[in-house]
Amino acid sequence: MKSKKNIKSVIILAAIGIITLFFLNISLAANTATINVETANVRETEDSEGKILVQLSKDEQVEVLEKTNNWYKVKAKGITGYLREDLITLKDENTFNVTNEEQTTSTEEAKVENSEKKNTEQENTQEAKTLVAKNTKLKIVPAINATDIIEVKENEEVTIIETINDWVCIKTGTTKGWIRKENLKEEKQQEQTQNQEQVADANNEENTVEETVLKTLYVNTETVNLRKEANTNSEIVARLSVNTAVEVYAEENNWSKVKVNEKEGYISSSLLSDKKQETSRSMSTSRSQLEQQQTQQQQSTTVAPSTIGANVVETARQYLGCAYVYGASGPSSFDCSGFTSYIFRLHGVSLSRTAAGQYSNGVYVSRDQLQPGDLVMFGTSTSNITHVAIYIGGGQIIHAANKSTGVTISTITSGYYNNRYVGARRVM
């Protein structure tokens, strides 16, 4: 008798288990949804700006836990978060919409209408060209806090791939990424920009040197170098002989920007005079005077670096604490070579943009002859320079070090920078 009761109990428990599994499977099936877009972001909160917890691809399945407004609470890959309702397709549309059929109908109609509008917008903008309205970062996914890819510049032409809400997927060169719609120019703005460029091109010939000529001067030395930029290390454009007339249309930092024989460049202002030089017997006296001037200039150049370098260091100190951002060159954020090029540009010196490029600027300085204002390079060798800083004296440098410290002061007498020291250049 007892055996029969046990058998009966087992049968009842088995039946309950089967029924439970049956309803559990129905429940799971009803609470399952499929991603219907190429990439969907599961967020920490019910907010389009919320932190992205995980990214899902099209046709991946998620477990739907509940619905709040236009968001579903879901579980995917062991992570619980929120997905916008238009990003998934429920296997049973009625699962979360039993209580208010009218609201469900209205929501579905709105989704269809928005979907049709979105599809129409995408068709209209497919592969369209447009211009960037301002300098901005290209995002890897359509989210404010997403990873930056590259920076796109104002008026750069890009190709529109697709549009999702207020985000636009664009292509520049071979790089694709996402940008906010307001950072792209509207058609009227593009026309205005194009018109401005056309006007600038049309007026380009009118904005000639002759309109801004300050005066006409003459070369006062037998041979003078016309240089591409205002420094003695710059490329030589032409060599001019004594008494050659030049038209001066700008003067800065003891250099004159001139035009001669359809060539433009810079000449040290001390090598120009408002009168022609005598070419007779008295020329020997003039030469002696000029040689004396050049000697004085060389002497002043020998003394100048310490004074000018101290000024450079003082300027650099004003930017302590500024952020390190790769590719940035001021005024509030920098990478290493962006910082050095920005500081020296404030003192009238143009440097190459990269740390390796700056190693070819100026003249070589041995480590025991370092002075404040010298550029100091680091890396594994002269052919693999990866960092540049400004020497401030006392075995210390000021530089845009990294993201954690930004612009800071470090020592080169021990530790990392001592071991990776490559060389130094004097550019002033």
Class of the CATH-defined domain 211-277: mainly beta
Check pLDDT > 50 for residue 298: no
Helices first, then strands: H and E counts in the chain? 7, 28
Q: If you average pLDDT over each of 124-133, 187-196, 265-274, which comes out highest? A: 265-274
Contact 312, 344 (CB under 8 A): yes
The pLDDT of 48-66, averaged and rounded, is 87
- Specify the higher pLDDT residue, 194 or 6: 6
Torsion on CA atoms 173, 174, 177, 181, rounded to nearest 10:
30
Pick from 117-126, 175-184, 318-327: least confident: 117-126
Residue range 126-204, CATH number: 2.30.30.40
Q: Which of 124-133, 221-230, 380-389 has the lowest mean pLDDT?
A: 124-133
* Neighbour count for residue 66 (Cβ, 10 Å): 10
**pLDDT value at position 143?**
83
- Domain positions in the chain are 12-114, 126-204, 211-277, 306-426
Between 382 and 297, name the one with better pLDDT: 382
- Report d(CA 100, CA 119) in Å as an integer: 28
**Which residues are tagged catalytic?**
336, 387, 399
Is the preceding peptide bond at 305 cis, omega within 30 degrees of 0?
no
Query: How far is residue 131's CA from residue 195's CA, in Å, rounded to a whole number?
Result: 14
Of 36, 40, 35, which Cα lies nearest the Cα of 53?
40
Which of 18-22, 52-56, 126-130, 245-249 is least confident? Answer: 18-22
Share of the chain above pLDDT 70, in %: 72
Instruction: State yes or no: pLDDT of 96 exceeds 70.
Output: no
Task: With a cut of 90, say whether residue 208 has pLDDT above it.
Answer: no
**Which residue type does 118 have?**
K
Average pLDDT (65-91) is 88
Least confident of 269-278, 332-341, 363-372, 397-406: 269-278
Which range has the top average pLDDT, 36-40, 205-209, 278-282, 416-420? 416-420
pLDDT of residue 323: 93
Indicate if 126-204 has the same CATH topology as 12-114.
yes
CATH number of 12-114: 2.30.30.40
DSSP H or E stretch at residue 6: helix 2-30
Question: What is the C-alpha separation between 237 and 309, in angstroms, rounded?
Answer: 28
CA 28 to chain centre: 47
Distance, CA of 253 to CA of 230 (rounded, Å) = 8
Residues 81-101 have a mean pLDDT of 70
Question: Mapping DSSP to helix (H, G, I), strand (E, B) and coil, where does residue 203 land?
Answer: helix
Stronger pLDDT, 136 or 289, i.e. the higher one: 136
Whole-angstrom distance, CA of residue 76 vs CA of residue 62: 5
pLDDT at residue 396 above 60? Answer: yes
Instruction: Give me the pLDDT at residue 176, please.
Output: 87
189 vs 380: which has the higher pLDDT: 380
Alpha carbon distance 274, 216 (integer Å): 7
Of 24-33, 43-52, 320-329, 366-375, give the lowest mean pLDDT range.
24-33
Instruction: Classify domain 306-426 at the CATH superfamily level.
Output: endopeptidase domain like (from Nostoc punctiforme) (3.90.1720.10)
Q: Confidence band (pLDDT; 50, 70, 90) for 40? A: confident
For the segment 316-328, the average pLDDT, to the nearest whole number, is 92
Q: How much is the pLDDT for 198?
A: 56
More confident residue, 269 or 195: 269
